Chains A and B, each alone.
Chain A
Amino acid sequence: MSLQPHYFPALGFGVGLRTVHFAHLLQQPARVDWFEIISENFMDSHGRPRSVLDRIAERYPIVMHGVSLSIGSTDPLNHDYLRKLKRLADDTQAAWVSDHLCWTGVAGLNTHDLLPLPLTEESLAHVADRVRIVQDVLERPLVLENPSSYVTFAMSTLSEWEFLSRLTDATGCGLLLDVNNVYVSAVNHDFDPVEYIEHIPADRVVQFHLAGHTNCGTHLIDTHDGPVIDPVWELYRLARTRSPRAATLLEWDARIPEFAVLEAEIAKARAMFGCVGWAESSSPTTSVVTALVGLEDSAHPTSTPTVPHPALCVAAEVE
């Protein structure tokens, strides 16, 4: 099954929609092409978050990005969740629906983390079966993201890129290639991020994620709390050259700055490829791909940072 281009319009350059920017976005136009939402923040909302989303969706394309599909879990799929997901996708005319290659819990529990799978033939068959079911329910292809991970399993027999390649061949799903996650996992698991990207089927990549991370000295954590670092920009340059039609999205989920900072950061991606649009910033400084693997020089945090969860950012507004 091949990807049908009409399912995945070329959206350009976008950022994640976060509640701290609601007031700004309602008052002035955003210098971005589209927004990605965290599906779970809106699928049950009857209040201000949903109201703002509806207004944003009138002006910009929306992509839905979930954190609780738990496509790799051995628990049954949650069909109530899937129905709500589809309804939100229909309501917002979402360009596509994505989630992560992960599981979030078993035995009826949700850890609210993106837990890694052992990469085995059993896992591949299991996930492929569930992707097919989800696509049937959603009546559209699913897009899956490579997660950042902090452990590898002794029982794994496949590389992550091999797993994703075979999964998309088997199911027709699209790929959301998180370039920062590739870098984080490459450092944490001692593999070559360039080799990873070169083995990902470029024609299956629908979207890229860019984000910052935290260097803990012995490992990296995907904290989404700062600008994209140069080695990740270089990986992005490589990845987008291979998949020029894929949309690009900047994630920023902790220590979220003013919206103008996000606009400037995503403008760097646009400028890198000479795309016409909102760009005013210069392209990022260059570094060599051969220097990508390893822990970049920066101050290490004194305490263990929390892996962020973008679904945190909803607080009641009380007068």
Chain B
Amino acid sequence: MAAESLAQIQRWMQAVIQQPDGDGSERVDDVILPSRSLSSRDRLQIYANAYFARLLEVLTGEYPAVAFAVGEEVFAEFALGYLNRHPSTSYTLAQLGGRFPQHLAETRPPCETDAPDWADFLIDLATLERLYSEVFDGPGTEDSAAFDLGGIAPEQWPNCRLIFAPCVRPVRLRFPVHEYITAVRRGEQPTPPVAATTHLVVSRREYIVRRVAVSADEFQLLSALFNGATVGDALSQWFAETPNGTPPIQVWFERWTAAGYFTSVTNAPG
């Protein structure tokens, strides 16, 4: 047999580490030497075991509430399926779990009713746990001066677009999973909550992730602003969809400002 190139050996070794019984596994004894204590196959298996165990540990670390909800064994099955479909392509493990919520959504069993079910609960859990990771280590505003809306003249308000801090993420969920996640992180043994549409604003201050539950009304206005609407358009849309509403707009804006959701403002063409 002609000498194999380094590239060939590396492709072979990676394949048999990821799939120990897959193609190429019959060549282990030709490529790997035995030691005094272990066969060639046993030696290579150390890497195969470590590959999955290490990445499972990373995913468990990022998704402790999903892991708690389904149990260790099922979570390992989820992780194996995910890693087979989405093996790491990044130099950083911070990206490893990035598509896990989407993977759960794509591989979930069919819905049997219109009501949110167990799969929806798990997807919501994963969505929020991933959001926590992204906000925790993503860009923030800790080094910036607080932004004050008080300097905006009243006549400028309708055409203003508020620029959100990069660490602010409004998210609508089907279950109050934030409370479940907090309980798991505290080492408690929570039971899954009943479905209830939940509106959260996830943000970060002083390098700690904060999550605040808000009303549907408040979430609707904040989301419109977050998605780039001017203040005037966002309010018009809000009143159109909530004709009998009387929103405590000033209270909301004071709360959002105090929480550091905004970094600046731009004026849209009038």
A residues whose Cβ falls under 8 Å from a Cβ of B: 40, 43-51, 68, 72-74, 78, 81, 103, 105-113, 115, 117-118, 120, 122-123, 126, 150-155, 188-190, 218-219, 221, 304, 306-309, 311-312, 314-319
Contacts and interface: CB of A to CB of B under 8 A. Distances in A.
Interface of B: 3-7, 9-11, 13-14, 17-18, 30-33, 35-38, 40, 42-44, 46-47, 49-51, 53-55, 57-58, 61-62, 87-94, 96, 132-133, 135-140, 142, 181-182, 185, 204, 207-211
A153 B92 contact: no
B14 A311 contact: no
A190 B36 CA distance: 7
A110 B50 contact: no
Top 7 closest pairs, chain A to chain B, by CB: A316-B136, A48-B207, A68-B91, A74-B7, A218-B37, A47-B137, A150-B46
Contact of B38 (A68, A115, A219, A319): A219
Given A317-B207, A318-B208, A40 B91 contact: yes
9 contacts: A40-B91, A73-B10, A111-B18, A122-B6, A151-B33, A151-B44, A311-B93, A318-B210, A319-B208
Contacts of A221: 46
A115 B92 contact: no
A306 B6 contact: no
Contacts, number: 174
A226 B190 CA distance: 33
Nearest to A306: B53
B10 A103 contact: yes
Nearest to A80: B91
A167 B187 CA distance: 50
Given A40-B91, A111-B51, 8 more contacts: A48-B137, A48-B207, A110-B88, A117-B6, A152-B35, A154-B31, A306-B53, A318-B209
Given A109-B88, A111-B17, A312-B57, A51 B10 contact: no
A107 B40 CA distance: 24
Given A106-B10, A188-B35, A304 B94 contact: no
Nearest to B4: A155
Nearest to B182: A318
B132 A316 contact: yes
Main secondary structure on A side of the interface with B:
loop
Contact of A74 (B6, B54, B93, B135): B6
A251 B6 CA distance: 31
A53 to B, nearest CB: 12
Given A309-B54, A312-B58, A154 B33 contact: yes
B166 to A, nearest CB: 8
A315 B61 contact: yes
A111 B14 contact: yes
Nearest to B204: A47
A218 B42 CA distance: 10
Nearest to B5: A122
B132 to A, nearest CB: 4
B209 A113 contact: no
Given A115-B13, A318-B209, A106 B7 contact: yes
A314 B137 contact: yes
Contact of B35 (A105, A219, A318): A219
A152 B32 contact: yes
A107 to B, nearest CB: 7
A154 B32 contact: yes
A47 B139 CA distance: 7
A42 to B, nearest CB: 10
